[in-house]
Amino acid sequence: MAQSAVNGVALIGAGIYPKEAYLPALHKTKATLVAIYSRSLKSASECLAEARKFDGLCAENIAAYHDGSPSNGGLDQLLQRDDVTSVIVALPTTVQPAVVLKCLAAGKHVLMEKPIAKDVKDAVALIAEYESQFQSQKLILAVAEQFRFDLAHEKARQIVSDGTIGELVAAHARIWSNMQPGNKWYETEWRKVPDYQGGFLLDGGVHFIALLRYVSSDEIEETASFARQTYDHLPPLDTVQGALRFKSGALGTISMSWASVKGEYSYNFIGTKGSLTITGADGGTKLVVEDEQGKVVSEEIIAGEGTAQEFLGFFEAIKRGQGDERASPRQALADVAVVESLLNGGGKVQLYK
């Protein structure tokens, strides 16, 4: 991995994913973590304790900020620190846009978790504010969609774009899981009672749309779909079956469900000369290329390192003074727009009306 030493990083949000994925990924990039914020003292302290386990990750003056007592200045105090140059925001979806704008106003570069917003309207508003008020200051706003940075997905994109499978004619995705109470991702209050469209279909669905768009190097312009809520504990929807039309003329399907007793995670890109299948595998992601007779031409498993790669992309963008297109807010907007179309029965995706 190409490494990029970066100083002055702060975490805004100290939940499961920051602790389990962000900290080891930041350590790989040789970043220096100087601050952690969470609403609760408990979460902030636990994340700080976890961060200290990674040799060289934490600055000597690292501090935890929270809203648990009047004596702790919370996020406002953190943002006043001159040694905080960039922040990584991982908060509930509907909370993030206001916090992101607050961080930008404080002069910090921002990498925010996907989805960029709860719907297209809010995403467009956030992008407009960023582009009119902060982009000219060379402040970076990036969206953490690791599927566009995953090394396996990068290789898959190359296979499709270099003509290995010929002209792309179809792309299909099947993502099924059985989300039950007790699952660590379910047992977060903002996911249990979502105040945004689609529930897990938005929160997770943007990943799968990002993969389809990125690997195909194509845009999804129109959908047709049916959606429903199967499990009472997964409001407002947990399943969608959709058809896709790409800008190039390729067609496709996507089947997403968090209420399926049968699990599945697969993508098929079918061309005029062969096909590419992407599945999960121990140690990474499996890519299988077949020719037009169905004979396996190549097969490999690639460790994607998506989170570390997206951090590297963010830090390099800061140094360059220009955002990485893979993490651009407008790419994230397109992901949300396709999911929103699927959740509402289909039609022209809003960006292409």
Q: Are residues 134 and 155 in the same domain?
A: no
What CATH number is given to the structural domain containing 135? 3.40.50.720
What CATH number is given to the structural domain containing 260? 3.30.360.10
Question: Please, are residues 35 and 84 in contact by the beta-carbon 8 Å criterion?
Answer: yes
- pTM given for the model: 0.95
Question: Please, are residues 148 and 326 in contact by the beta-carbon 8 Å criterion?
Answer: yes
Q: Are residues 120 and 171 in the same domain?
A: no
How far is 129 from 336, CA to CA, in rounded Å? 18
Q: Are residues 284 and 178 in the same domain?
A: yes
By residue range, what is the domain housing residue 238?
148-308+335-352
Q: Are residues 118 and 197 in the same domain?
A: no
Q: Are residues 66 and 178 in the same domain?
A: no
Question: Please, are residues 159 and 276 in contact by the beta-carbon 8 Å criterion?
Answer: yes
Query: Helices 329-343 and 120-133: crossing angle, nearest 10°?
Result: 170
Q: Are residues 163 and 251 in the same domain?
A: yes
Band of pLDDT at residue 188, cut at 50, 70 and 90 = confident
Give me the residues paired with residue 287 across strands.
278, 300
- pLDDT tens readout for residues 216-244: 999 999 999 999 999 999 999 999 999 99
| Of 11-15, 74-78, 183-187, minimum mean pLDDT range | 183-187
Q: Are residues 178 and 101 in the same domain?
A: no
Q: Which of 145, 168, 191 is the last residue of a domain?
A: 145
What mean pLDDT do residues 178-190 have?
90
How far is 353 from 348, CA to CA, in rounded Å? 6
How far is 326 from 141, CA to CA, in rounded Å? 12
- pLDDT tens readout for residues 48-60: 999 999 999 999 9
Q: Are residues 210 and 264 in the same domain?
A: yes
Q: Are residues 263 and 128 in the same domain?
A: no
pLDDT of residue 4: 58
Structural domain contains residue 123: yes
Q: Is the pLDDT of residue 2 over 60?
A: no
Structural domain contains residue 165: yes
Q: Are residues 250 and 196 in the same domain?
A: yes
β-pairing, 259-271 vs 168-178, is antiparallel
Q: Are residues 138 and 171 in the same domain?
A: no
Count of beta carbons in the 10 Å neighbourhood of residue 170? 16
Band of pLDDT at residue 72, cut at 50, 70 and 90 = confident
What is the Cβ-side half-sphere exposure of residue 322, based on CA atoms within 13 angstroms? 2
Among the listed residues 19, 61, 57, the one whose alpha carbon sits nearest the alpha carbon of residue 38? 19
Q: Are residues 281 and 200 in the same domain?
A: yes
Over the Cα atoms of the chain, what is R_g?
Answer: 20
